Structure 1
Amino acid sequence: MTTHYVDLTVVPDPENSAPHLLGALYGQLHLALVRNRLDSVGVSFPRYSLDPRAIGSVLRLHGDAATLAGLMAEDWLKGVRDHVRATGVLPVPEGSPHRTVQRRQFKTSVERLRRRRMQRKGETAEQAAEAIPATAEDRPDLPYVHLRSRSTGQPFCLFVALGPLRKEAAPGTFNSYGLSGTATVPWF
């Protein structure tokens, strides 16, 4: 149950922008959640905005007090600690609404889709272009965190969508990015 939270605010400097630091912080959190096999820690972005589209500079962790205290006692902030201000483990304000915070994936590169099809089906570039028109490309308008895949080293955008506000919490588990399409986190 997500009864407590910790706010992690990135502090940019002339050499590191807030989005760059948030991506580094979120990448470190992902590794810590995987390493500890934690599916009870959710995340939210309290400064999330669609207009203008921005994820903000605060990463909020949600969970029970003991789990969050244990996570924060570890050295997972190594490498970003100088650029992060963390609150202590705090209780969620009474009466807070809840919502899901989930990942949305898009087909954002027609060229990548075509190359993949050529490899999978043994097609020529012309055949793949005919099968996948330029209009197949999605243009996402959601805020995102820029991350780097630990397995391939490739950069990618993790797009974040918010579910509708609810009065009641929905229990469940979170993935290794602290996101879920069914489990909710308090939204305040």
Structure 2
Amino acid sequence: MDHYLELTLLPDPEFTQPMLMSALLAKLHRALHDLRRDDIGVSFPGYSLKPQSLGTRLRVHGNLVALDSLQALNWLSGMRDHTEVLGPEPIPEQVRFRSVSRVQVDSNPERLRRRLIKRHGISAEEARQRIPDNTGKQCALPFAQMRSQTSGQLFRLFVRQGGIVDERCEGTFGGYGLSSVATVPWF
């Protein structure tokens, strides 16, 4: 990982920053899927726990060949009026590292009920009694609102940025550019 792209969301009177970041991540996800690459990672320089926000900047990290192949896809179509793109630029020499990972939370009571019925063979009424509507884990991490390409269901992509470390950790990145093992440069 020796280069990065930095995408900054521009203010827009019609769309909120979280809506634009969600759309940007959805486009990146489709591009990474089409490229079938596992060597491109992301970070969020404006990430904040209070208030919960991924911020207005997305950094996409990779080697120059990987980032050039990403840019060759024209993956930002429809987002060009909403973003300012810098790069690919070389990673600064003095950096630290951090992991940026996805956190999956079982927060949908209906899905939990279906799973309970399937696993334990109980009735829908019994599942409703065991798992009331107000059940579900809450997550205080920033997220992007995404739509599943297969089911069409909306879901929250919760993102955790790990602690800053001095040493880089090698590994692969998933379809959103996130990894619980691999680190990205932090600067």
Q: TM-score, normalised by structure 1?
A: 0.91
Q: Following TM superposition, by how much is the alpha carbon of 1:49 offset from its aligned partner in structure 2, in angstroms?
A: 0.5
Kindly provide the amino acid, as one letter, of the partner of residue 47 in structure 2: Y
The range that moved more, 13-22 or 154-163, is 13-22
Q: How far apart, CA to CA, are the structure 1 residues paired with 2:105 and 2:40?
A: 25
Question: Closer, same or farther in 2 for the Cα pair 1:118/1:55, shift >3 Å?
Answer: same
Name the SS for the 2:61 alignment partner. Answer: strand
Following TM superposition, the consecutive aligned residue runs of length 4 or more in structure 1 with deviations greater than 3 angstroms are: 119-122, 129-136
**Secondary structure of 1:159 counterpart:** strand
The answer on 1:19 being equivalent to 2:18 is yes
Q: Percent identity?
A: 47
CA distance in 2, matches of 1:84, 1:7: 10
Q: 1:147-166 counterparts in 2 under 5 A?
A: 147-166=146-165
8 A contact 1:110–1:134 mirrored in 2: yes
Distance in 2 between the 1:125 and 1:14 partners?
45
Structure 1: tracts of 5 or more residues without a match: none
Aligned residue in 2 for 1:168 = 167
Aligned length: 187
SS in 2 for 1:13: coil
Q: CA deviation at 1:135?
A: 7.8
Cα drift, residue 127 of structure 1? 1.8
Check 1:17–1:134 CA distance in 2 against 1; reply closer, same or farther (3 A cut).
Answer: closer
Q: Return the letter of the residue paired with 2:96.
A: P
Q: Is the 8 A contact 2:4 2:90 kept in 1?
A: yes
RMSD of equivalent CA atoms: 1.8
Superposition pairs for residues 68-79 of structure 1, below 5 Å? 68-79=67-78
Deviation of 1:70 (Å): 2.3
> How far has the Cα of 1:39 moved from its partner?
0.5
Q: What is the CA distance between 1:92 and its match in structure 2?
A: 1.4
The match for 2:142 is: 143
Letter in 2 for 1:25: L
Q: CA deviation at 1:61?
A: 0.1
Structure 2 regions of 5+ residues with no counterpart? none
Partner of 1:52: 51
Structure 2 length normalisation: TM-score?
0.92
Q: How far apart in 2 are the matches of 1:64 and 1:125?
A: 51
**1:120 deviation in Å?**
5.0
Q: Kindly report which structure 2 residues correspond to 1:1-188, keeping only aligned pairs within 5 A, or say none.
A: 2-132=1-131, 137-188=136-187
Q: Which amino acid aligns with 1:126?
A: E
SS at match of 2:87: coil
